[in-house]
Structure 1
Amino acid sequence: MAKKSKRMLEAAKLIDRSQLYDASEALGLVKKTATAKFDETVEVAVRLGVDPKKQDQQVRGAVVLPHGTGKTVRVLVFAKGDKAKEAEAAGADHVGDDDLIQKISQGWLDFDVAIATPDMMGAVGRLGRVLGPKGLMPNPKTGTVTFEVGRAVQESKAGKIEYRLDKAGIVHVPIGKVSFEVSALLGNFQTLLDALQKAKPSGAKGQYIRSITVASTMGPGVRVNALRVGAVAE
Protein backbone atom coordinates (compact mmCIF):
# COMPACT_ATOMS: atom_id res chain seq x y z
CA MET A 1 0.00 0.00 0.00
CA ALA A 2 2.90 2.34 0.82
CA LYS A 3 4.31 1.76 -2.65
CA LYS A 4 1.04 2.83 -4.24
CA SER A 5 0.87 5.94 -2.05
CA LYS A 6 4.41 6.84 -3.06
CA ARG A 7 3.50 6.47 -6.74
CA MET A 8 0.51 8.75 -6.29
CA LEU A 9 2.59 11.31 -4.41
CA GLU A 10 5.20 11.31 -7.16
CA ALA A 11 2.48 11.71 -9.78
CA ALA A 12 0.95 14.64 -7.92
CA LYS A 13 4.32 16.44 -7.98
CA LEU A 14 4.00 16.72 -11.76
CA ILE A 15 1.06 19.08 -11.33
CA ASP A 16 1.26 22.70 -10.21
CA ARG A 17 -2.00 23.18 -8.27
CA SER A 18 -1.84 26.95 -8.70
CA GLN A 19 -1.55 26.78 -12.49
CA LEU A 20 -4.23 26.74 -15.17
CA TYR A 21 -3.18 24.48 -18.06
CA ASP A 22 -4.14 24.39 -21.72
CA ALA A 23 -6.59 21.54 -22.32
CA SER A 24 -4.14 19.37 -24.29
CA GLU A 25 -1.39 19.79 -21.66
CA ALA A 26 -3.86 19.08 -18.84
CA LEU A 27 -5.04 15.87 -20.51
CA GLY A 28 -1.43 14.82 -21.07
CA LEU A 29 -0.78 15.28 -17.35
CA VAL A 30 -3.87 13.21 -16.52
CA LYS A 31 -2.40 10.35 -18.56
CA LYS A 32 1.02 10.72 -16.90
CA THR A 33 -0.42 10.78 -13.38
CA ALA A 34 -2.74 7.77 -13.76
CA THR A 35 -1.08 5.21 -11.48
CA ALA A 36 -3.73 2.49 -11.15
CA LYS A 37 -3.22 -0.93 -12.72
CA PHE A 38 -6.50 -0.71 -14.64
CA ASP A 39 -7.48 1.54 -17.54
CA GLU A 40 -8.81 4.50 -15.57
CA THR A 41 -11.66 6.68 -16.80
CA VAL A 42 -10.85 10.31 -17.60
CA GLU A 43 -13.48 12.63 -16.17
CA VAL A 44 -14.24 16.32 -16.57
CA ALA A 45 -15.83 18.48 -13.86
CA VAL A 46 -17.21 21.79 -15.15
CA ARG A 47 -18.44 24.39 -12.66
CA LEU A 48 -21.14 26.54 -14.25
CA GLY A 49 -22.24 30.05 -13.37
CA VAL A 50 -25.88 29.11 -12.85
CA ASP A 51 -28.17 28.66 -9.86
CA PRO A 52 -29.06 24.94 -9.72
CA LYS A 53 -32.03 25.75 -7.47
CA LYS A 54 -33.75 27.67 -10.26
CA GLN A 55 -35.76 25.63 -12.73
CA ASP A 56 -34.96 27.96 -15.63
CA GLN A 57 -31.21 27.52 -15.06
CA GLN A 58 -31.04 23.72 -15.27
CA VAL A 59 -28.47 22.28 -17.66
CA ARG A 60 -29.20 18.81 -18.95
CA GLY A 61 -28.75 16.99 -22.22
CA ALA A 62 -26.74 14.42 -24.12
CA VAL A 63 -23.97 14.45 -26.71
CA VAL A 64 -22.23 11.79 -28.81
CA LEU A 65 -18.47 11.87 -28.15
CA PRO A 66 -16.61 11.46 -31.47
CA HIS A 67 -14.10 9.01 -30.02
CA GLY A 68 -16.48 7.12 -27.72
CA THR A 69 -15.99 6.55 -24.00
CA GLY A 70 -13.98 3.34 -24.14
CA LYS A 71 -16.77 1.60 -22.28
CA THR A 72 -18.99 -1.21 -23.53
CA VAL A 73 -22.52 0.14 -23.08
CA ARG A 74 -25.42 -2.24 -22.35
CA VAL A 75 -28.59 -0.79 -23.85
CA LEU A 76 -32.15 -1.71 -22.86
CA VAL A 77 -35.17 -0.69 -24.95
CA PHE A 78 -38.82 -0.61 -23.94
CA ALA A 79 -40.74 -1.12 -27.20
CA LYS A 80 -43.32 -3.28 -28.93
CA GLY A 81 -43.84 -4.71 -32.41
CA ASP A 82 -41.82 -3.22 -35.26
CA LYS A 83 -40.01 -0.82 -32.91
CA ALA A 84 -38.83 -3.77 -30.82
CA LYS A 85 -37.48 -5.42 -33.98
CA GLU A 86 -35.77 -2.15 -34.96
CA ALA A 87 -34.08 -1.96 -31.55
CA GLU A 88 -32.88 -5.57 -31.81
CA ALA A 89 -31.52 -4.98 -35.31
CA ALA A 90 -29.59 -1.93 -34.05
CA GLY A 91 -27.85 -4.02 -31.40
CA ALA A 92 -29.84 -3.43 -28.23
CA ASP A 93 -28.87 -5.86 -25.46
CA HIS A 94 -32.37 -6.16 -23.97
CA VAL A 95 -35.69 -5.43 -25.68
CA GLY A 96 -39.18 -5.90 -24.24
CA ASP A 97 -42.22 -4.26 -22.70
CA ASP A 98 -44.24 -5.50 -19.73
CA ASP A 99 -41.84 -8.41 -19.13
CA LEU A 100 -38.88 -6.04 -18.68
CA ILE A 101 -40.89 -3.66 -16.52
CA GLN A 102 -41.78 -6.55 -14.23
CA LYS A 103 -38.17 -7.75 -14.09
CA ILE A 104 -36.83 -4.27 -13.21
CA SER A 105 -39.51 -3.74 -10.56
CA GLN A 106 -38.09 -6.84 -8.85
CA GLY A 107 -34.61 -5.32 -8.69
CA TRP A 108 -32.89 -6.30 -11.94
CA LEU A 109 -30.71 -3.45 -13.29
CA ASP A 110 -28.16 -5.14 -15.54
CA PHE A 111 -27.91 -2.33 -18.12
CA ASP A 112 -26.32 1.12 -18.57
CA VAL A 113 -28.85 3.01 -20.73
CA ALA A 114 -32.63 2.71 -21.00
CA ILE A 115 -34.52 3.88 -24.08
CA ALA A 116 -38.30 3.89 -24.52
CA THR A 117 -40.78 4.67 -27.27
CA PRO A 118 -43.23 7.43 -26.20
CA ASP A 119 -46.18 5.01 -26.15
CA MET A 120 -44.38 2.92 -23.51
CA MET A 121 -43.80 5.78 -21.05
CA GLY A 122 -47.15 5.38 -19.30
CA ALA A 123 -46.06 1.93 -18.12
CA VAL A 124 -42.34 2.75 -17.77
CA GLY A 125 -43.25 5.73 -15.58
CA ARG A 126 -44.13 3.29 -12.80
CA LEU A 127 -40.41 2.49 -12.55
CA GLY A 128 -39.53 6.07 -11.62
CA ARG A 129 -38.58 5.21 -8.04
CA VAL A 130 -36.24 2.47 -9.26
CA LEU A 131 -34.70 4.06 -12.37
CA GLY A 132 -34.74 7.73 -11.29
CA PRO A 133 -32.14 7.56 -8.49
CA LYS A 134 -29.86 5.49 -10.76
CA GLY A 135 -30.05 8.04 -13.58
CA LEU A 136 -31.57 5.41 -15.86
CA MET A 137 -35.04 6.85 -16.44
CA PRO A 138 -35.72 7.51 -20.16
CA ASN A 139 -36.07 11.24 -20.80
CA PRO A 140 -36.99 13.23 -23.94
CA LYS A 141 -34.32 15.85 -23.10
CA THR A 142 -31.56 13.28 -23.51
CA GLY A 143 -33.07 11.59 -26.56
CA THR A 144 -33.93 8.38 -24.74
CA VAL A 145 -37.70 8.75 -25.25
CA THR A 146 -38.08 8.46 -29.00
CA PHE A 147 -39.63 6.48 -31.83
CA GLU A 148 -36.22 6.50 -33.55
CA VAL A 149 -35.05 3.63 -31.37
CA GLY A 150 -32.54 2.27 -33.89
CA ARG A 151 -30.68 5.54 -34.03
CA ALA A 152 -30.85 5.98 -30.24
CA VAL A 153 -29.36 2.52 -29.68
CA GLN A 154 -26.53 3.15 -32.15
CA GLU A 155 -25.70 6.52 -30.58
CA SER A 156 -25.62 5.03 -27.08
CA LYS A 157 -23.31 2.25 -28.27
CA ALA A 158 -21.09 4.74 -30.11
CA GLY A 159 -20.37 6.93 -27.08
CA LYS A 160 -23.39 9.05 -26.29
CA ILE A 161 -23.11 10.49 -22.78
CA GLU A 162 -25.60 12.40 -20.69
CA TYR A 163 -24.70 15.49 -18.71
CA ARG A 164 -26.65 17.00 -15.85
CA LEU A 165 -26.07 19.80 -13.37
CA ASP A 166 -25.66 18.59 -9.77
CA LYS A 167 -26.76 20.47 -6.63
CA ALA A 168 -23.40 22.23 -6.41
CA GLY A 169 -23.69 23.62 -9.96
CA ILE A 170 -21.13 21.18 -11.41
CA VAL A 171 -21.40 18.85 -14.40
CA HIS A 172 -19.34 15.61 -14.10
CA VAL A 173 -18.80 13.70 -17.37
CA PRO A 174 -16.52 10.82 -18.48
CA ILE A 175 -14.68 11.60 -21.74
CA GLY A 176 -12.67 8.42 -22.29
CA LYS A 177 -9.92 6.25 -20.84
CA VAL A 178 -6.28 7.01 -19.98
CA SER A 179 -5.31 4.59 -22.77
CA PHE A 180 -6.76 7.06 -25.31
CA GLU A 181 -4.41 9.32 -27.26
CA VAL A 182 -4.42 12.94 -26.04
CA SER A 183 -5.90 13.98 -29.41
CA ALA A 184 -8.91 11.68 -28.89
CA LEU A 185 -9.47 12.92 -25.33
CA LEU A 186 -9.17 16.50 -26.56
CA GLY A 187 -11.73 15.89 -29.32
CA ASN A 188 -14.20 14.50 -26.78
CA PHE A 189 -13.45 17.35 -24.36
CA GLN A 190 -14.14 20.03 -26.99
CA THR A 191 -17.34 18.27 -28.09
CA LEU A 192 -18.58 18.27 -24.49
CA LEU A 193 -17.76 21.96 -23.98
CA ASP A 194 -19.51 22.88 -27.23
CA ALA A 195 -22.61 21.01 -26.03
CA LEU A 196 -22.53 22.79 -22.66
CA GLN A 197 -22.21 26.17 -24.38
CA LYS A 198 -25.25 25.41 -26.55
CA ALA A 199 -27.18 24.34 -23.43
CA LYS A 200 -26.51 27.65 -21.66
CA PRO A 201 -29.74 28.81 -19.97
CA SER A 202 -30.97 32.26 -20.96
CA GLY A 203 -31.15 33.14 -17.26
CA ALA A 204 -27.41 32.56 -16.69
CA LYS A 205 -25.59 35.81 -15.86
CA GLY A 206 -21.90 36.67 -15.98
CA GLN A 207 -19.22 34.10 -16.77
CA TYR A 208 -20.97 30.84 -17.65
CA ILE A 209 -18.16 28.29 -17.41
CA ARG A 210 -16.40 29.16 -14.15
CA SER A 211 -13.82 26.39 -13.87
CA ILE A 212 -12.80 23.10 -15.49
CA THR A 213 -10.91 20.24 -13.86
CA VAL A 214 -9.84 16.98 -15.53
CA ALA A 215 -8.72 13.86 -13.66
CA SER A 216 -8.45 10.10 -13.95
CA THR A 217 -10.42 7.81 -11.63
CA MET A 218 -7.60 7.54 -9.08
CA GLY A 219 -5.43 10.49 -10.12
CA PRO A 220 -5.10 14.11 -8.98
CA GLY A 221 -7.17 16.85 -10.59
CA VAL A 222 -5.65 19.17 -13.19
CA ARG A 223 -7.17 22.63 -13.67
CA VAL A 224 -7.85 23.76 -17.24
CA ASN A 225 -7.75 27.40 -18.32
CA ALA A 226 -11.41 27.98 -19.22
CA LEU A 227 -10.54 31.22 -21.05
CA ARG A 228 -8.18 29.39 -23.38
CA VAL A 229 -10.91 27.00 -24.56
CA GLY A 230 -13.28 29.81 -25.37
CA ALA A 231 -15.44 28.95 -22.40
CA VAL A 232 -16.46 32.43 -21.36
CA ALA A 233 -19.78 34.16 -21.41
CA GLU A 234 -20.46 36.28 -24.45
Structure 2
Amino acid sequence: MKRGKKYQEAAKLVDRTRLYEIEEAVPVLKKTAVAKFDETIELNIRTSCDGRHADQAIRGAVVLPHGTGKTVRVLVFAKGIKADEAQAAGADFVGGEELIPRIQNEGWLDFDVVVATPDMMGVVGRLGKVLGPKGLMPNPKAGTVTMDVTKAVNDIKAGKIEYRLDKANIVHVPIGKASFTEEQLVDNYNALMAAIAKAKPSTVKGQYLKSISIASTMGPGLKLVCNKY
Protein backbone atom coordinates (compact mmCIF):
# COMPACT_ATOMS: atom_id res chain seq x y z
CA MET A 1 0.00 0.00 0.00
CA LYS A 2 1.47 3.31 -1.09
CA ARG A 3 1.52 5.98 1.62
CA GLY A 4 1.45 9.74 1.16
CA LYS A 5 4.40 12.07 1.75
CA LYS A 6 3.10 13.21 5.14
CA TYR A 7 2.86 9.63 6.38
CA GLN A 8 6.34 8.79 5.08
CA GLU A 9 7.81 11.83 6.83
CA ALA A 10 5.99 10.95 10.06
CA ALA A 11 7.16 7.32 9.83
CA LYS A 12 10.78 8.50 9.92
CA LEU A 13 10.22 9.70 13.49
CA VAL A 14 9.32 6.17 14.64
CA ASP A 15 11.95 3.59 15.59
CA ARG A 16 10.29 0.32 14.56
CA THR A 17 12.97 -1.79 16.23
CA ARG A 18 12.13 -0.72 19.77
CA LEU A 19 9.37 -0.95 22.34
CA TYR A 20 8.42 2.44 23.78
CA GLU A 21 7.32 3.29 27.29
CA ILE A 22 4.06 5.25 27.05
CA GLU A 23 5.80 8.44 28.31
CA GLU A 24 8.31 8.15 25.41
CA ALA A 25 5.70 7.23 22.81
CA VAL A 26 3.28 10.10 23.36
CA PRO A 27 5.61 12.98 22.30
CA VAL A 28 6.52 11.06 19.13
CA LEU A 29 2.85 10.30 18.51
CA LYS A 30 1.88 13.96 18.74
CA LYS A 31 4.56 14.87 16.19
CA THR A 32 3.31 12.21 13.75
CA ALA A 33 -0.32 13.41 13.91
CA VAL A 34 -0.11 15.88 11.03
CA ALA A 35 -3.57 15.60 9.46
CA LYS A 36 -5.74 18.70 9.08
CA PHE A 37 -8.20 17.40 11.68
CA ASP A 38 -7.78 16.51 15.35
CA GLU A 39 -6.74 12.87 15.05
CA THR A 40 -7.94 10.22 17.48
CA ILE A 41 -5.27 8.32 19.41
CA GLU A 42 -6.11 4.63 19.46
CA LEU A 43 -4.67 1.60 21.25
CA ASN A 44 -4.60 -1.89 19.78
CA ILE A 45 -4.05 -4.51 22.48
CA ARG A 46 -3.40 -8.08 21.31
CA THR A 47 -4.23 -10.58 24.04
CA SER A 48 -3.59 -14.28 24.60
CA CYS A 49 -7.29 -14.79 25.38
CA ASP A 50 -9.57 -16.94 23.26
CA GLY A 51 -12.81 -15.00 23.01
CA ARG A 52 -14.66 -18.09 21.74
CA HIS A 53 -14.67 -19.28 25.36
CA ALA A 54 -17.06 -17.33 27.58
CA ASP A 55 -14.61 -17.42 30.50
CA GLN A 56 -11.97 -15.63 28.38
CA ALA A 57 -14.15 -12.99 26.75
CA ILE A 58 -12.95 -9.63 28.06
CA ARG A 59 -15.58 -6.92 28.22
CA GLY A 60 -15.96 -3.94 30.47
CA ALA A 61 -15.85 -0.18 30.73
CA VAL A 62 -13.68 2.49 32.29
CA VAL A 63 -14.02 6.25 32.77
CA LEU A 64 -10.98 7.95 31.23
CA PRO A 65 -9.82 10.81 33.52
CA HIS A 66 -9.74 13.29 30.62
CA GLY A 67 -12.47 11.82 28.42
CA THR A 68 -12.02 10.92 24.75
CA GLY A 69 -12.35 14.39 23.26
CA LYS A 70 -15.49 13.25 21.48
CA THR A 71 -19.04 14.40 22.17
CA VAL A 72 -20.97 11.21 22.88
CA ARG A 73 -24.68 10.97 22.06
CA VAL A 74 -26.55 8.79 24.55
CA LEU A 75 -29.87 7.01 23.96
CA VAL A 76 -31.65 5.71 27.07
CA PHE A 77 -34.46 3.17 27.01
CA ALA A 78 -36.48 3.84 30.16
CA LYS A 79 -39.98 4.75 31.29
CA GLY A 80 -41.65 6.73 34.05
CA ILE A 81 -39.40 8.22 36.70
CA LYS A 82 -36.29 6.59 35.17
CA ALA A 83 -37.00 8.34 31.86
CA ASP A 84 -37.23 11.65 33.74
CA GLU A 85 -33.92 10.92 35.51
CA ALA A 86 -32.20 10.13 32.19
CA GLN A 87 -33.50 13.38 30.70
CA ALA A 88 -32.31 15.36 33.72
CA ALA A 89 -28.87 13.73 33.52
CA GLY A 90 -28.43 15.00 29.97
CA ALA A 91 -29.29 11.97 27.82
CA ASP A 92 -29.66 13.05 24.18
CA PHE A 93 -32.60 10.73 23.49
CA VAL A 94 -34.97 8.97 25.89
CA GLY A 95 -37.80 6.64 24.97
CA GLY A 96 -39.26 3.16 24.86
CA GLU A 97 -41.23 0.98 22.50
CA GLU A 98 -42.02 3.88 20.15
CA LEU A 99 -38.33 4.03 19.12
CA ILE A 100 -38.31 0.45 17.78
CA PRO A 101 -39.79 1.18 14.30
CA ARG A 102 -37.66 4.31 13.98
CA ILE A 103 -34.46 2.28 14.49
CA GLN A 104 -35.62 -0.92 12.76
CA ASN A 105 -37.43 0.50 9.74
CA GLU A 106 -36.05 3.99 9.26
CA GLY A 107 -32.41 3.13 10.06
CA TRP A 108 -32.15 5.85 12.72
CA LEU A 109 -28.79 5.47 14.47
CA ASP A 110 -27.88 9.01 15.54
CA PHE A 111 -26.44 7.85 18.87
CA ASP A 112 -23.13 6.43 20.10
CA VAL A 113 -24.11 4.57 23.30
CA VAL A 114 -27.34 2.87 24.35
CA VAL A 115 -28.34 2.57 28.02
CA ALA A 116 -31.38 0.62 29.23
CA THR A 117 -33.06 -0.14 32.52
CA PRO A 118 -33.38 -3.91 33.12
CA ASP A 119 -37.18 -3.82 32.66
CA MET A 120 -36.68 -2.41 29.13
CA MET A 121 -34.34 -5.16 27.90
CA GLY A 122 -37.28 -7.14 26.50
CA VAL A 123 -37.99 -4.19 24.21
CA VAL A 124 -34.32 -3.52 23.40
CA GLY A 125 -33.77 -7.24 22.68
CA ARG A 126 -35.95 -6.87 19.58
CA LEU A 127 -33.27 -4.57 18.18
CA GLY A 128 -30.49 -7.15 18.65
CA LYS A 129 -29.94 -7.67 14.91
CA VAL A 130 -29.50 -3.92 14.38
CA LEU A 131 -27.64 -2.89 17.53
CA GLY A 132 -25.58 -6.08 18.09
CA PRO A 133 -23.35 -5.92 14.96
CA LYS A 134 -22.66 -2.22 15.66
CA GLY A 135 -21.58 -2.92 19.25
CA LEU A 136 -24.45 -0.82 20.58
CA MET A 137 -26.35 -3.45 22.55
CA PRO A 138 -26.61 -2.52 26.26
CA ASN A 139 -24.68 -4.87 28.53
CA PRO A 140 -24.55 -5.19 32.33
CA LYS A 141 -20.75 -5.72 32.25
CA ALA A 142 -20.32 -2.37 30.56
CA GLY A 143 -22.69 -0.70 33.02
CA THR A 144 -25.21 0.12 30.27
CA VAL A 145 -27.98 -2.08 31.70
CA THR A 146 -28.74 -0.40 35.01
CA MET A 147 -31.39 1.20 37.18
CA ASP A 148 -28.96 4.03 37.97
CA VAL A 149 -29.44 5.84 34.67
CA THR A 150 -28.18 9.12 36.14
CA LYS A 151 -24.76 7.62 36.92
CA ALA A 152 -24.64 5.78 33.59
CA VAL A 153 -25.31 8.95 31.57
CA ASN A 154 -22.95 11.07 33.70
CA ASP A 155 -20.12 8.52 33.36
CA ILE A 156 -20.55 8.22 29.60
CA LYS A 157 -20.62 12.00 29.15
CA ALA A 158 -17.51 12.27 31.38
CA GLY A 159 -15.50 9.93 29.14
CA LYS A 160 -16.50 6.36 29.91
CA ILE A 161 -15.47 3.96 27.17
CA GLU A 162 -16.25 0.32 26.62
CA TYR A 163 -13.59 -2.24 25.75
CA ARG A 164 -14.10 -5.73 24.36
CA LEU A 165 -12.29 -8.40 22.37
CA ASP A 166 -12.84 -8.51 18.63
CA LYS A 167 -12.82 -11.77 16.64
CA ALA A 168 -9.02 -11.68 16.44
CA ASN A 169 -8.79 -11.33 20.27
CA ILE A 170 -7.64 -7.72 19.97
CA VAL A 171 -9.03 -4.78 21.97
CA HIS A 172 -9.27 -1.51 19.98
CA VAL A 173 -9.90 1.59 22.09
CA PRO A 174 -9.54 5.38 21.73
CA ILE A 175 -7.71 7.14 24.56
CA GLY A 176 -8.04 10.74 23.43
CA LYS A 177 -7.15 13.21 20.68
CA ALA A 178 -3.84 14.45 19.29
CA SER A 179 -4.67 17.88 20.76
CA PHE A 180 -4.59 16.45 24.31
CA THR A 181 -1.53 17.23 26.42
CA GLU A 182 1.08 14.51 26.90
CA GLU A 183 0.01 14.19 30.56
CA GLN A 184 -3.66 13.73 29.61
CA LEU A 185 -2.87 10.94 27.14
CA VAL A 186 -0.57 9.17 29.63
CA ASP A 187 -3.23 9.45 32.37
CA ASN A 188 -5.90 8.02 30.08
CA TYR A 189 -3.59 5.20 28.97
CA ASN A 190 -2.77 4.25 32.56
CA ALA A 191 -6.44 4.27 33.57
CA LEU A 192 -7.37 2.03 30.65
CA MET A 193 -4.49 -0.40 31.15
CA ALA A 194 -5.28 -0.72 34.86
CA ALA A 195 -8.83 -1.74 33.89
CA ILE A 196 -7.61 -4.20 31.22
CA ALA A 197 -5.12 -5.74 33.69
CA LYS A 198 -7.89 -6.13 36.28
CA ALA A 199 -10.10 -7.81 33.66
CA LYS A 200 -7.57 -10.61 33.07
CA PRO A 201 -9.53 -13.90 33.04
CA SER A 202 -8.33 -16.36 35.70
CA THR A 203 -8.21 -19.08 33.03
CA VAL A 204 -5.49 -17.27 31.05
CA LYS A 205 -2.06 -18.58 31.97
CA GLY A 206 1.32 -17.06 31.07
CA GLN A 207 1.65 -13.64 29.47
CA TYR A 208 -1.76 -12.02 29.21
CA LEU A 209 -0.97 -9.31 26.65
CA LYS A 210 1.04 -10.22 23.55
CA SER A 211 1.53 -6.72 22.16
CA ILE A 212 0.31 -3.14 22.48
CA SER A 213 0.52 -0.57 19.71
CA ILE A 214 -0.61 3.04 19.66
CA ALA A 215 -1.29 5.27 16.67
CA SER A 216 -3.11 8.40 15.59
CA THR A 217 -5.85 8.10 12.93
CA MET A 218 -3.55 8.80 10.00
CA GLY A 219 -0.14 8.21 11.57
CA PRO A 220 2.24 5.25 11.92
CA GLY A 221 1.96 2.89 14.89
CA LEU A 222 4.40 2.67 17.79
CA LYS A 223 4.89 -0.56 19.72
CA LEU A 224 4.68 -0.26 23.50
CA VAL A 225 6.25 -2.20 26.34
CA CYS A 226 3.68 -4.72 27.58
CA ASN A 227 5.64 -7.10 29.81
CA LYS A 228 4.12 -5.45 32.92
CA TYR A 229 0.91 -7.28 32.14
Q: TM-score range by the shorter chain?
A: over 0.9
Q: Is residue 2:186 matched to residue 1:186? A: yes
Q: How does 1:154-193 map to 2 (within 5 A)?
A: 154-193=154-193
Q: Is residue 2:19 matched to residue 1:15? A: no
Q: State the alpha-carbon separation in 2 of the partners of residues 187 and 102 from structure 1.
A: 42
Q: State the alpha-carbon separation in 2 of the partners of residues 51 and 95 from structure 1.
A: 36
Q: State the alpha-carbon separation in 2 of the partners of residues 214 and 164 from structure 1.
A: 17
Give the secondary structure class of the aligned counterpart of 1:166.
coil
1:27 aligns with 26
Matched AA of 1:82: I
2:143 aligns with 143
Give the secondary structure class of the aligned counterpart of 2:214.
strand
Give structure 2 stretches of 5+ with no counterpart.
none
Q: State the alpha-carbon separation in 2 of the partners of residues 75 and 81 from structure 1.
A: 18
2:114 aligns with 114
Q: Which moved more, 1:69-78 or 1:95-104?
A: 95-104
Give the secondary structure class of the aligned counterpart of 2:101.
helix
Matched AA of 1:22: E
Once the two structures are TM-superposed, the CA of residue 194 in structure 1 deviates from its matched residue by: 0.5
Q: State the alpha-carbon separation in 2 of the partners of residues 99 and 176 from structure 1.
A: 35
Q: State the alpha-carbon separation in 1 of the partners of residues 116 and 123 from structure 2.
A: 10
Once the two structures are TM-superposed, the CA of residue 117 in structure 1 deviates from its matched residue by: 0.4
Q: Retained in 2: the 8 A contact 1:78–1:95?
A: yes
What is the aligned-residue identity percentage?
Answer: 64
Once the two structures are TM-superposed, the CA of residue 52 in structure 1 deviates from its matched residue by: 2.2
Q: State the alpha-carbon separation in 1 of the partners of residues 50 and 110 from structure 2.
A: 34
- CA deviation string 1:198-224 (max 9, x = no partner): 111011010011211000001000011
Matched AA of 1:86: E
Q: Retained in 2: the 8 A contact 1:79–1:97?
A: yes
Once the two structures are TM-superposed, the CA of residue 101 in structure 1 deviates from its matched residue by: 2.0
Q: State the alpha-carbon separation in 1 of the partners of residues 191 and 48 from structure 2.
A: 19
Q: Retained in 2: the 8 A contact 1:69–1:177?
A: yes
Detail structure 1 runs of 4+ shifted over 4 Å in the superposition. Answer: none
Q: State the alpha-carbon separation in 2 of the partners of residues 55 and 82 from structure 1.
A: 35
Once the two structures are TM-superposed, the CA of residue 41 in structure 1 deviates from its matched residue by: 0.2
1:105 aligns with 104
1:216 aligns with 216
1:42 aligns with 41
- CA deviation string 1:75-121 (max 9, x = no partner): 00000010000000000000011112221112110000000000000
Q: State the alpha-carbon separation in 1 of the partners of residues 141 and 100 from structure 2.
A: 22
Q: Retained in 2: the 8 A contact 1:50–1:205?
A: no
1:89 aligns with 88
TM-score, structure 1 length as denominator? 0.94
Q: State the alpha-carbon separation in 2 of the partners of residues 187 and 101 from structure 1.
A: 39
TM-score, structure 2 length as denominator? 0.96
Q: State the alpha-carbon separation in 1 of the partners of residues 114 and 52 from structure 2.
A: 27
Q: Which moved more, 1:39-48 or 1:20-29?
A: 20-29
Q: Which moved more, 1:47-56 or 1:103-112?
A: 47-56
2:63 aligns with 64
Once the two structures are TM-superposed, the CA of residue 54 in structure 1 deviates from its matched residue by: 1.8
Matched residues, number: 227
Q: Retained in 2: the 8 A contact 1:63–1:160?
A: yes
CA-atom RMSD, angstroms? 1.2
Once the two structures are TM-superposed, the CA of residue 36 in structure 1 deviates from its matched residue by: 0.8
Give the secondary structure class of the aligned counterpart of 1:98.
coil
Once the two structures are TM-superposed, the CA of residue 51 in structure 1 deviates from its matched residue by: 1.7
